[in-house]
């Protein structure tokens, strides 16, 4: 009882913040720009200034990825090598680009937002909305403020839009994801410290909830007393709501803990499927003529992108697949089936038009339709039927993570997940858990005031009478 009380003094306010921020997160997500959204915000490539590939790249150079995009009115080649190094080449003059300046960033941001006016910009290394390590390869940024209140982050190194936020997203996330994930930049920028804080506060929250459940069950003896609870006043409400929603609260705390994959419990192994389907990295001597052939017809596209498939070079012109000679080369079901079979013994495979339990749209948007490959060992691969790229791989730890974290934390297995009915159902369940935590937080605050005032009450009692 004492342990539950005094641990609650510390943890109840934090758990109440987790519950209240959960309501916000039902409706407001953390801002991010997906690759599909970034590509959609590009301007069509201006072929009148293309394509001078320069003379600096040797034909034998292996290429991991390559894409031609329009950046501030000029075509730019982006290259990534197998060692992870990246570079950009102005195809107007064949010169390498080291830094994309403010004028370019302004045009990129305006194009991404549909022509919105630029108000001002500032260079930033890291802030609240670019705090995670996901953005490390693109730092620093031009943070461009638009006339409608949006902030667009353009990488100085690549000229790409890395992040975009609206004023509403920035406001509501201070009441949603930031307290829920313990995400203030001052803490989140130290990955090791943040990880340990989240893991250990979740463990303490789990202990607090388990202790409360045990105390509630021991105190609840309906067969020996007509009263539902032996307590009085607010303590009765805490006791009864804790019994009603304690398991629910425990489910959310534990699944939140598992989101951190503590001590590698649900860590997935490496996925060689993507490299197996791509084949050996093509050389620049193979990539350059394929990009040249794709650009020869001056297609009205926003992006040409290298997509090797089973050792051959192909190029995606937006969503159309071209072969190395620039001819249309759509993937057939037979080719996808052969590719799936190359991944190992297969239980089933085929095209899915709607998401399933492991590849679905909820907080993130899944690419559909997708070619689903279910291997005999239970591993699932989802391929893009247009390009043949691996969209997602779900192995045994991934399946466990999907149910023990995503399933139990979001309840996205309920019918209509992501819709209004689902949001109402989860909000009602969350309200029950919040009532338990709120009454506990209030009781903890009342106890703290009582304990702090105790020495003064004792002193008054010991004061001699006049």
Q: What is the pLDDT of residues 303-344, one digit of tens each?
A: 999 999 999 999 999 999 999 999 999 999 999 999 999 999
Tell me the pLDDT band of 56, cut-offs 50, 70 and 90. confident
Residues above pLDDT 90, as percent of the chain: 74
**pLDDT one-digit tens code per residue, 177-217:** 999 999 999 999 999 999 999 999 999 999 999 999 998 88
Question: Taking 90 as the threshold, does the pLDDT of residue 247 lie above it?
Answer: yes
Q: Which residues pair with 146 in a beta bridge?
A: 118
| Phi and psi, residue 176, nearest 5° | -115, -100
The answer to whether 231 and 243 are in contact (CB under 8 A) is no
Tell me the pLDDT band of 465, cut-offs 50, 70 and 90. low
Asked if residue 140 has a cis previous peptide bond (ω within 30° of 0), the answer is yes
Residue 177 or residue 450, greater confidence:
177
Residue whose C-alpha is closest to residue 408's, from 259, 214, 196, 245: 259
Give the chain's mean pLDDT.
92
Give mean pLDDT, residues 344-373.
91
Residue 100 or residue 223, greater confidence:
100
Question: Taking 70 as the threshold, does the pLDDT of residue 463 lie above it?
Answer: no
Tell me the C-alpha distance between 100 and 123, whole Å. 12
Helix (H) or strand (E) run with residue 421 in it:
helix 420-462
Tell me the C-alpha distance between 77 and 272, whole Å. 27
Tell me the C-alpha distance between 180 and 337, whole Å. 43
Predicted pLDDT at 457? 66
Tell me the pLDDT band of 296, cut-offs 50, 70 and 90. very high
Name every residue whose Cβ is closer than 8 Å to that of residue 1 and which is 6 or more positions away in sequence. Answer: 215
Alpha helices in 134-233 (DSSP H): 167-173, 177-180, 185-188, 191-219
| pTM, 2 dp | 0.91
Residue 4 or residue 102, greater confidence:
102
Tell me the C-alpha distance between 146 and 112, whole Å. 11
Give mean pLDDT, residues 281-307.
95
Predicted pLDDT at 257? 96
| Phi and psi, residue 13, nearest 5° | -60, -40
Give mean pLDDT, residues 232-250.
89
Tell me the pLDDT band of 225, cut-offs 50, 70 and 90. low
The answer to whether 244 and 229 are in contact (CB under 8 A) is no
The answer to whether 139 and 129 are in contact (CB under 8 A) is no
Lowest mean pLDDT among 21-25, 114-118, 221-225, 374-378: 221-225
Please, what sign has the CA dihedral across residues 196, 199, 201, 207? negative
Predicted pLDDT at 458? 64
The answer to whether 355 and 366 are in contact (CB under 8 A) is yes
Question: Taking 80 as the threshold, does the pLDDT of residue 464 lie above it?
Answer: no
Give mean pLDDT, residues 133-137.
93
Give mean pLDDT, residues 159-172.
97
Question: Taking 70 as the threshold, does the pLDDT of residue 224 lie above it?
Answer: no
Residue 457 or residue 345, greater confidence:
345
Question: Taking 70 as the threshold, does the pLDDT of residue 23 lie above it?
Answer: yes
Give mean pLDDT, residues 344-348.
95
Give mean pLDDT, residues 145-153.
97
Question: Taking 70 as the threshold, does the pLDDT of residue 164 lie above it?
Answer: yes
Q: Which residues pair with 283 in a beta bridge?
A: 62
Predicted pLDDT at 418? 83
Sheet with strand 141-146: strands edge to edge = 118-124, 141-146, 151-155, 161-165
Tell me the C-alpha distance between 2 and 98, whole Å. 62
How far does Cα 72 stand from its chain's mean position? Answer: 28
Predicted pLDDT at 198? 97
Tell me the C-alpha distance between 331 and 316, whole Å. 11
The answer to whether 100 and 154 are in contact (CB under 8 A) is yes
């Amino acid at each position: 009882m004492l342990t539950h009380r005094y641990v609650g003094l510390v943890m109840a306010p934090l758990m109440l913040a987790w519950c209240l921020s959960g309501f916000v997160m039902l409706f407001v997500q953390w801002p991010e720009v997906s690759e599909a959204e970034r590509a959609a915000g590009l301007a069509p490539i201006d072929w009148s200034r293309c394509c001078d590939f320069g003379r600096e790249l040797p034909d034998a150079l292996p290429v991991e990825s390559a894409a031609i995009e329009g950046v501030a009115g000029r075509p730019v080649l982006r290259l990534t090598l197998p060692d992870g190094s990246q570079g950009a080449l102005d195809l107007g003059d064949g010169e390498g680009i080291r830094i994309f300046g403010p004028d370019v960033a302004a045009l990129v941001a305006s194009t991404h937002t549909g022509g919105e006016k630029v108000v001002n910009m500032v260079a930033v290394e890291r802030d609240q909305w670019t705090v995670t390590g996901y953005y490390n390869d693109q730092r620093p940024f031009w943070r461009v403020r638009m006339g409608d209140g949006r902030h667009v982050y353009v990488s100085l190194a690549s000229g790409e839009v890395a992040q975009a936020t609206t004023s509403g997203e920035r406001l509501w996330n201070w009441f949603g994801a930031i307290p829920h994930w313990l995400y203030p930049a001052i803490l989140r920028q130290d990955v090791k410290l943040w990880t340990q804080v989240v893991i250990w506060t979740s463990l303490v929250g789990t202990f607090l909830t388990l202790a409360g459940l045990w105390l509630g069950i021991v105190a609840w003896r309906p067969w020996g007393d007509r009263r539902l609870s032996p307590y009085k006043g607010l303590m009765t409400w805490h006791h009864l709501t804790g019994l009603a929603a304690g398991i629910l609260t425990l489910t959310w705390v534990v699944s939140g803990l598992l989101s951190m994959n503590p001590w590698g419990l649900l860590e997935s192994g490496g996925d060689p499927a993507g490299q197996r389907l791509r084949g050996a990295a093509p050389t620049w001597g193979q990539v350059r003529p394929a990009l040249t052939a794709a650009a020869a017809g001056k297609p009205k596209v926003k992006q040409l992108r290298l997509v090797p498939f089973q050792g051959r070079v192909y190029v995606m012109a937006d969503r159309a697949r071209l072969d190395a000679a620039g001819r249309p080369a759509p993937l057939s079901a037979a080719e996808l089936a052969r590719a799936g079979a190359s991944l190992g013994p297969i239980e089933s495979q085929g095209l899915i038009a709607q998401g399933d339990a492991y590849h679905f749209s909820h907080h993130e948007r899944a690419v559909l339709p997708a070619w689903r490959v279910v291997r005999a060992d239970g591993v699932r691969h989802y391929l893009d039927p247009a390009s043949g790229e691996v969209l997602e791989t779900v192995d045994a730890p991934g399946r466990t993570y999907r149910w023990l974290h995503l399933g139990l934390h979001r309840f996205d297995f309920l019918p209509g997940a992501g819709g209004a009915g689902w949001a109402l159902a989860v909000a009602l369940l969350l309200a029950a858990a919040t009532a338990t935590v709120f009454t506990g937080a209030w009781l903890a605050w009342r106890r703290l005031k009582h304990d702090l005032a105790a020495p003064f009450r004792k002193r008054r009692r010991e004061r001699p009478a006049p």
